[in-house]
């Protein structure tokens, strides 16, 4: 590319504007979490930490936060375990229905969450499983499994298959090969996928909405509070969540990035 032409300049301007647009709401959220006025409007009136104090001393919010962490932890654990197994099965073997299996596992990633939520709600009703946090955990784990499968499979495909043959030739049993050869290769992909699953489960609404019983998770709490009205307290919770998710994302990008070939 040589000197930028008029249309490329216009394009660059538009691109930077779009990039700014992506951060506008996040900036607004953070600014107003520190503004000492109950209404979210300019001009800013002063600095305060009251909204943070308010949410940290609200037992309802703390319970919801705990529920969210509980759900996200177990949903991640489940989807990592089963997702990794699925990725290994897909990587090493051909079996009838392989394409159907892959498509079904990946479907919830492009399907609006509410369809998955409704399907599971119908299913749970039929088998008599009550709506509860356990139901939510199973729902999240199932919906997020596709992420684990795609990330781990992408890493497996890059692995040198001769390592597995060498390990078998040297007399290692399959489980031994898995723990000593395969797992170290895919460990960072698994951890990256785990962080992603955790973040997405922590933030999930539609599946949770249909599957939860009386216990609410943090997003459901915020969602139902917001239908009634806005409080800057939500901005404070939001800013805290943003800070944590950015941290997790930076970690996961570092883990999911391909390591340079040795």
- What minimum distance in Å lies between the beta carbon of 25 and another protein? 4
Residue 47, SS3 per DSSP: strand
User: How many angstroms separate the Cα of 209 from the Cα of each of 33, 60, 132, 164, 223?
Assistant: 26, 17, 11, 44, 10
Burial of 24 (0-12, 13-18, 19+ CB in 10 A): exposed
Cβ-contact 74, 137 below 8 angstroms: yes
Angle in degrees, CA 182, 188, 191, rounded to 5: 115
Nearest CB to another protein, comparing residues 194 and 219: 219
Name which of 255, 252, 256 is nearest 154 in CA terms.
256
Nearest CB to another protein, comparing residues 44 and 62: 44
Q: Which residues pair with 35 in a beta bridge?
A: 47
Write out the two tokens for 199: 């973040």
- What minimum distance in Å lies between the beta carbon of 89 and another protein? 5
Nearest CB to another protein, comparing residues 183 and 230: 230
- What minimum distance in Å lies between the beta carbon of 255 and another protein? 14
- What minimum distance in Å lies between the beta carbon of 206 and another protein? 4
Residue 35, SS3 per DSSP: strand
- What minimum distance in Å lies between the beta carbon of 70 and another protein? 18
- Distance CA(183)–CA(256), nearest Å, equals 15
Name which of 184, 186, 181, 183 is nearest 163 in CA terms.
181
Nearest CB to another protein, comparing residues 42 and 47: 42
- What minimum distance in Å lies between the beta carbon of 168 and another protein? 4
- What minimum distance in Å lies between the beta carbon of 223 and another protein? 6
Q: Which residues contact 182 (CB under 8 A, 6 or more apart)?
A: 88, 156, 159, 164
């Amino acid at each position: 590319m040589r000197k930028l032409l008029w249309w490329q300049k216009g394009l660059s301007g538009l691109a930077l504007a779009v990039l700014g647009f992506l951060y506008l709401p996040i900036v607004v959220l953070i600014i107003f979490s520190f503004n000492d006025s109950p209404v979210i409007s300019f001009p800013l009136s002063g600095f305060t930490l009251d909204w943070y104090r308010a949410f940290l001393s609200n037992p309802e919010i703390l319970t919801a936060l705990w529920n969210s962490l509980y759900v996200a932890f177990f949903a991640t654990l489940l989807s990592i375990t089963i997702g990794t197994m699925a990725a290994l099965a897909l990587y090493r073997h051909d079996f009838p229905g392989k394409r159907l299996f892959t498509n079904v596992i990946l479907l919830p990633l492009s399907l609006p969450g509410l369809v998955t939520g409704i399907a599971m709600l119908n299913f749970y009703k039929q088998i008599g499983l009550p709506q509860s946090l356990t139901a939510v955990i199973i729902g999240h784990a199932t919906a997020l499994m596709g992420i684990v499968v795609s990330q781990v499979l992408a890493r497996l495909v890059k692995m040198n298959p001769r390592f597995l043959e060498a390990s078998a030739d040297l007399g290692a049993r399959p489980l031994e090969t898995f723990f000593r050869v395969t797992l170290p290769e895919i460990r960072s992909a698994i951890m990256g996928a785990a962080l992603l699953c955790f973040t997405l489960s922590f933030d999930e609404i539609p599946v949770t909405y249909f599957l939860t019983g009386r216990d609410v998770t943090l997003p459901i709490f915020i969602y139902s509070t917001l239908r009634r009205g806005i409080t800057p307290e939500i901005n404070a919770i939001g800013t805290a969540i943003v800070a944590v998710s950015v941290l997790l994302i930076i970690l996961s990008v570092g883990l999911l990035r391909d390591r340079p070939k040795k």
